[in-house]
Chain A
Amino acid sequence: MRKSIVSLLASAALAIATTAVAQDARPFAGTSITVLMPSPQGPDIASAFEAETGIHVDLQTLSWDDIRPKLVTALVAGTAPADVTEFDWSWTGQFNAADWFVPLNDLIDAETVEDIGVAKIFTVDGKLLGIPYTNDFRVMLINKKHFSDAGIAEVPKTLDELVAAAKQLKEKGVSQYPIGLPLSATEGASTSWYLLTKAFGGELFDKDFNPLFVQPDSAGYKALAFELMLLKEGLVDPASTGLKDTQINEGMFSQGLTSIMISGEPGRLGQMNDPKQSKVAGQAEAILVATESGTTRSFGLPEALAIPKVSANQEAALVFVKWFTSREHQKKNLANGFLPTRTSALSELNAEGKLNSGDALVAQSKTVEALFPQGTPPWYPQFSSGVNTAINSAAKGQITIDQAVQKIAEAAKEAMAQ
């Protein structure tokens, strides 16, 4: 009897202690936060996070293009668009200057920052403004069946080999326009040009932000000339002047209409190889970015999560940011098309054979550079708009290459001056 009473008391004490520990582990249980991210996101994010932390999440998703106006209008009015928000690499300079987001340096452990190499892209003036959750960098995507049908055995490593492969694909009638390349006045046209500028062995600016793309022998000039040559040779669809990168990915590559995405997004491989979402399932493959010299290069365009300074639930918001960027969640989130930003998660997934074109992605990820090693400047959005507007006009034959690069240089100068 005494034994039973002792046992009962011990169980009760354990139960009380367990509850106390559980409450300590869930200090914000019962709190509600809002999260604003681009669509689509995994369907079970809110429920999985709430089950683990007790924090209720109101997950709001918008198309990527609609998020920025919503953030800007709310933040300029001094209200929180959400407790946790999307934070694109290209906004870093502007949003740092506006002082809208909480620096996370002291709130995120050093091990995490080290594991997420691209976190440095979100560091300006020593302030870490966002924790990257999707590792967007550029690779080239090819349809390996198309290559096989055209009798191309080797994947292109140089730009000359790329053009030769595209011509062969066209000549063999495998695809009418073998190369997918956005030329509309949208961000996708800018990023493709940046990638090709690197592929031609150059940079956009020197360390003092003087343009390096104006001279005909510069990489940026050659990159634009290369794009227009592809268009003129009929290797790129003339309708690309009105198409965003998403439209080319989903409406052309995933439909089997094009064979090569010059500025490919690794995160799309899952969808492209999913028979429910793609007509080229099992055929899409990532290859290293072909360059003029044959030595591959790439740059990162990661997206992060950040916490607005006007958020009323910053501590609970931080719990979400940590959870969403944890190794375990990043590995699970691959199924939703998000490539992990943690090197450890990426390596583990590749070792487990769960990564589409894993070897190419891991190899390319080691070559990822920041587009602006000095940190993304606050005038980037205006500059980028000038870039894609000029590329679009040149692609439509409204201006020459010389005029286009001059316009880009003027846009950069004007953007920097203000």
Chain B
Amino acid sequence: MTAVANGRQSSARGVGFGADTILGILLVSPILLTMTALVFYPMGRTIWDSLHRVNPMQAGTPFVGLDNYVRMFSDGQLGATWTNTLIYVVLAVAAETIFGVLAAALINQVKIGRRWILAAVILPWALPGVVNSVIWLWIYQPGAGLLNGILSAIGLPFENHVWFNDRASAIVAVTVVHVWRMMPLTIVIVLAAMQSIPSHLYEAARIDGATRGQMFGLITLPLVRSAIAVSMTNATVNAFNLFDEAWVLAGSSLETRPILVQIYLETFQNLRFSYGMALSVSITFVSLLVSLVYVLRVYRNTRFD
């Protein structure tokens, strides 16, 4: 009887277990429905279809098990595109993290007009990838390009240099454009973390005679570690998803072709939809795995500290 009374009382106040649960479900349901419709279902369907043969040129969609995944090992061009992608990831993540943290530290020192500097820095990130790439395509132009113009002006023999005729310089050229576009995000994330560090920590360090370098290494870096982890995850996922820059700057050239361009060609050129899906699933898992490894490591250390 008491229990019933209590239950009625709780229910009347609207804070009982049942009411909380319903309220919670109601609050969460929009995002759950959205995620289910736009992420989980397509993801599940993609994985399922990758186990079938989906090719409009062939009748039916029979179950083929792991055939599409096994085929990857005998795909001549796939190895080259994986290598290119991994090089992009290593170069882009390293460059975005190192230069992004340094740029954030620099902007953090600025007292006047910081918001304007930040707005200017964010601009490449705000522009669509294709627009950024087209701008850089003009910069890299062999004849009238800005880069060759500057190098020639200082007396170097780069007047008609074609940056994309050499694999190493082509890979670097594509990476530079990607880093140019994505680094602002790293700067913003790390700068936000830097601004939340209490100033008294620096004052105490200064009293103890610490140099600027020591303050950066012993106070700033450890306290922005989580932010760096987040930005590295973001950089990794974006580098694995690199498409616009390579496509606009060098088309489907094998020397610069990332895995996403290969997926596009397999799917829309060769009409091998299920193989394209298997490739998409693979890149998703590899991307998540790589992100997970260092994110967990960096994040755990930060919490420990």
Residues of A within 8 A of B (CB): 68-69, 72-73, 75-76, 94, 97-98, 100, 184-186, 237-239, 241-242, 244, 378, 381-382, 385, 388-389, 392-393, 395-398, 407, 410-411, 414-415, 418
Contact = CB atoms under 8 A, between A and B. Distances in A.
Q: Please tell me the size bucket of the interface on B.
A: 20 to 34
A389 B251 CA distance: 10
B165 A76 contact: no
A185 B268 contact: no
Nearest to A97: B57
A228 to B, nearest CB: 13
Summarize B's interface: helix, strand, loop or mixed: loop
Interface string B230-260: 0000000000000000000111111100000
Given A94-B271, A414-B76, A184 B57 contact: no
Nearest to A407: B76
B76 A398 contact: no
Given A239-B160, A396-B164, A410-B76, 20 more contacts: A184-B253, A185-B250, A185-B252, A185-B253, A186-B251, A186-B252, A238-B142, A238-B160, A238-B162, A238-B165, A239-B141, A239-B142, A242-B251, A244-B251, A385-B252, A385-B270, A389-B77, A396-B166, A396-B253, A407-B76
B181 interface: no
B273 interface: yes
Contacts of B56: 72, 75-76, 97-98, 100
6 contacts: A185-B252, A239-B143, A239-B162, A242-B164, A385-B269, A414-B76
B167 interface: yes
B142 to A, nearest CB: 4
B137 to A, nearest CB: 9
B50 to A, nearest CB: 15
B95 to A, nearest CB: 24
Contacts of B273: 76
Contacts of A382: 269-270
B66 interface: no
B272 interface: yes
Interface string B95-130: 000000000000000000000000000000000000
Nearest to B268: A69
Contacts of B142: 237-239
B165 A397 contact: yes
A393 B265 contact: no
Contacts of A411: 76
Contacts of B250: 185, 242
Closest 3 pairs (CB-CB, A-B): A97-B57, A98-B56, A239-B142
Given A68-B268, A72-B271, A241-B164, A94 B253 contact: no
A404 B160 CA distance: 26
A415 B270 CA distance: 9
Contact of B271 (A98, A241, A388, A407): A98
A202 to B, nearest CB: 25
A73 B276 CA distance: 13
Contacts of B167: 396, 398
Contact of B254 (A68, A378, A389, A397): A389
A241 B165 contact: yes
A381 B270 contact: yes
A392 B162 contact: no
Nearest to A75: B56
Contacts of A94: 57, 271
Contacts of B57: 94, 97-98, 378
A241 B254 contact: no
A317 to B, nearest CB: 21
Contacts of B162: 238-239, 241-242
A322 B31 CA distance: 51
Nearest to A388: B252
Contacts of B251: 184-186, 242, 244
Contacts of A418: 270, 272
Given A186-B251, A389-B77, A396 B165 contact: yes
Contacts of B141: 239
A411 B250 CA distance: 20
Contacts of A241: 162, 164-165, 253
B254 A393 contact: yes
A242 B269 CA distance: 20
Interface in B260-299: 265, 268-273
Contacts of A393: 253-255
Contact of A398 (B77, B160, B255, B272): B255
Nearest to A389: B254
Contacts of B160: 238-239
Contacts of A244: 251
B138 to A, nearest CB: 12
A393 B167 CA distance: 9
A407 B76 CA distance: 9
B145 to A, nearest CB: 10
A244 B247 CA distance: 13
Contact of B252 (A72, A389, A395, A410): A389
A244 B270 CA distance: 21
Contacts of A389: 77, 252-254
Contacts of A242: 162, 164, 249-251, 253
A76 B143 CA distance: 43
